[in-house]
Amino acid sequence: MIASLANVAPHPGTAAQGSAIVSVRNIKKTYPGGVEALSGITLDFPEGQLTTLLGPSGCGKTTLLKIIAGLLPATSGEVLVGGRTVTGPGPERSFVFQDFALMPWASVLRNVAFGLELRGVRKSEREAIAVGHIAKVGLKGFEYKYPHELSGGMRQRVGLARALAVDSAVIMMDEPFSAVDEQTRRKFQEDLLGLIANEKKTFLFVTHSIEEAVYVSDRIVLLSRRPSRVSTIIEPKLDRSGDPEGIRRDPAYLDAVEGIWQSLKKYLD
Amino acid sequence: MTMFGYRLPMMTSLILWAVLWELVGHTEAGFILPPLSKIVMRMGEILPTPSFAEALLITGRSFLTGVGIAVLAGVPIGILMGRSIIADRLLLPWVNLFLSAPLSALVPVIMVLFGLGEATIILTVTLFAIWIIVLNARVGVRSISPSLVEMAQSFGASRWQAFSKVYVWAALPEILAGVRLGVIRAVKGVVIGQLLVSVVGFGTLFEIYSSHFLMEHFWALLLVLFAFAFALNEGMAWLERKVQYYAASRA
């Protein structure tokens, strides 16, 4: 379904088709000390798609994501989620952290159910929900393990399950695979595609890996070097209906990777 | 431990010193440092007496109350200081001052304010223990990974939820280390407090023994207190090791 949505997209670089669930309006961010991270970003994130923020390291992709998450205040501009201005974190958004951010003293089950625990959902109810999501990310049987007993890839699956468990419309992922080794990452990316197709949620993804961006994204927003602006928007039209391994051999995939590399190259010295 | 190829049994050094003590006790120094064997025998004599039991009860009660206050007040204050810059600016100089201050000198002031009773002892214990507990809780909270704080925020934790469900647990290894150090200081506090007040608990016994020059009684009591302090420290260290696995996995 997502692949077909991407296929009907008019032209790369035009405004979002369909309704934008997240809108960023002229966001500027200057850190104390005068470092200008973002200089006037305006973007729409269409509902039900996976949009990736991609750019050279230190370009402020994570900063933008955290502003959308309500974890960081913007210097000026506004973020609208579902038409409403964001002033802080909210139940319609959930976050997957680069370093997992799991509670080491809590079991996988409690970690996954934590968002619901904070909302006051009854223990039996929230654990039933969590068990379902633990199975969904492929960790069935690990419910009573502790984070230190899991590998990096498995820990991030817990982080993902926790974000899914609160059933928010928007899931934000901040370089979720950067602390995971290469083989695990590939497997995880493949599994993620399956999850995205089933969940019908809006995903905001941040990565510095071009291959990863093209592999998982419906839209890729290229950010320029600091102070960041939106440089280009690319919509790789890949057929994700078949074998997930086949995507990496798809000429469209390879062309998109090459195209992005050519436009990012100029930011390197 | 092995020496010259022989395996030495545990506590070899302890036995060695005990023997040395025994020998010194039989020389002329024996009037101030009686032989260990006699002290141990005296210990067996003192321990079952009602005056010892009463002293132990009073000491234990004021110790536990004092430590309890220090933990219940110190941990939240430390966490508050770790999370709030204003609270930190306001309190840190004082905490550091009291941490390094010669607190024994303050006991007479407490005595004037609270009289020659248990209240003074309790307050002395708290005064000795609380500062290191505050400081460690503060450090523990400051070393919580920022993403764990953001995690709590992003999933909508209220201030109280973030405190009780995340910060306390994330800082637990440092908090426990602080409590262990606090407990050790509290032992000093309870003994110094009782010695200075000298009409409560072990203070009375020490006063009687030293004024009547009952050195065997005096040393016996001292050894009992040393053993208590040591056992407390080991108990806390054991508790700390129990939570260490996640302290290590946290990095």
Bridge-based pairing state of the strands A76-81 and A84-85: antiparallel
Beta bridge partners of A171: A94, A203
User: CB of A1 within 8 A of CB of A197?
Assistant: yes
Q: Can you list the residues of chain A whose pLDDT is less than 70?
A: 1-18, 267-269
- For chain B, which residues make up each domain, given as ranges? 1-33, 34-248
User: What pLDDT does residue B247 have?
Assistant: 53
CA count, 13 A, side-chain hemisphere, B157: 20
pLDDT digits (tens, 9 = 90+) for A59-76: 788 888 999 999 988 898
Smallest Cα distance from B233 to chain A, Å: 24
What phi, psi does B155 have (nearest 5°)? -95, 10
Q: How far is CA A157 from CA A116, A125, B27, in A?
A: 17, 21, 73
**Phi, psi (deg, nearest 5) at residue B179:** -65, -40
pLDDT on residue B200: 79
Contact B147 A99 (CB under 8 A): yes
Output the pTM of the full model: 0.76
Spell out the residues 6+ positions from residue B65 whose beta carbon is closer than 8 angstroms to its own. Answer: B122, B125
Kind of pairing, strands B6-7 and B2-3?
Answer: antiparallel
- Number of Cβ within 10 Å of residue A103's Cβ equals 21
Q: Is B4 helix (H, G, I), strand (E, B) or coil?
A: coil
Collect all residues of chain B within an 8 Å Cβ-Cβ radius of residue A93: 154
- ipTM of model: 0.83
B34-248 CATH, one of 1.10.1060.10, 2.40.50.140, 1.10.3720.10, 3.40.50.1820? 1.10.3720.10
pLDDT of residue A110: 94
For the record, the structure tokens of A256 come out as: 């998109």
The predicted model gives B127-134 an average pLDDT of: 94
- B232-249 average pLDDT score: 74
Residue B123 is predicted with a pLDDT of 92
Average pLDDT over residues B241-247: 66
For residue B246, give the chain A residue with the closest CA. Answer: A104
N-term to C-term CA, chain A: 40
Q: How confident is residue B217, by pLDDT bands cut at 50, 70 and 90?
A: confident
Structure tokens at A172: 């934000």
Of the candidates A95, A118, A147, the beta carbon closest to that of B249 is on: A147
Q: Are A247 and A238 in contact (CB under 8 A)?
A: yes
How many whole angstroms separate alpha carbon B95 and alpha carbon B74?
10
CA neighbor of A148 nearest in space, from A98, A103, A99, A95: A103
Average pLDDT of span B120-138: 93
- State how far the Cα of B156 lies from the Cα of A217, in Å rounded to an integer: 28
3-class DSSP state of B151: helix
The residues near B34 (Cβ < 8 Å, ≥ 6 apart) are B25, B215, B216, B219
| Interchain proximity B165–A117, CB inside 8 Å | yes
Residue written as tokens 């995880």?
Answer: A188
CA distance B149 to A156: 17
Q: How confident is the model at residue B47 (pLDDT cuts 50, 70, 90)?
A: confident
Structure tokens at B250: 């946290």
Q: How far does A102 lie from chain B, in Å, by closest CA?
A: 7
For residue B114, give Cα distances in angstroms to B122, B124, B207.
10, 11, 21
Identify the pLDDT of residue A118. Answer: 93
Q: What is the pLDDT of residue A13?
A: 39
Give the model's pLDDT for residue A269.
Answer: 60
Helix H or strand E encompassing B168: helix B168-170
Tokens 């399950």, located at residue? A161
CA of B249: which chain A residue's CA is closest?
A148
Dist. CA B144–CA A39, nearest whole Å: 31
Give the per-residue pLDDT at A1: 37
Q: Which of residues 41-100 of A touch B (CB under 8 A)?
A: 66, 69-71, 88-91, 93-95, 97-100
Mean pLDDT over B65-87 rounds to 92
**A13 is written with which tokens?**
């670089």
**Could you tell me the end-to-end alpha-carbon distance of chain B, in angstroms, rounded to an integer?**
33
Phi-psi region of A207 (alpha: psi -120 to 50; beta: other; left: phi over 0): beta
pLDDT at B129: 93
Least CB–CB distance from B147: residue in A97, A148, A162: A97
Q: Between the CA of residue B82 and those of A209, B76, B129, B167, B171, what are the distances in Å?
A: 36, 10, 19, 10, 10
Burial tier of B53 (Cβ tally within 10 Å: 0-12, 13-18, 19+): exposed
Of A71, A95, A104, the CB nearest to B246: A104
- Residue numbers in B near A148 (CB within 8 A): 245-246, 248-249
Can you tell me the mean pLDDT for B95-120?
86
Decide if pLDDT at B159 tops 50: yes
CA distance linking residue B60 with residue B72, whole number of Å: 18
Rounded CA gap, B242 and A63, in Å? Answer: 38
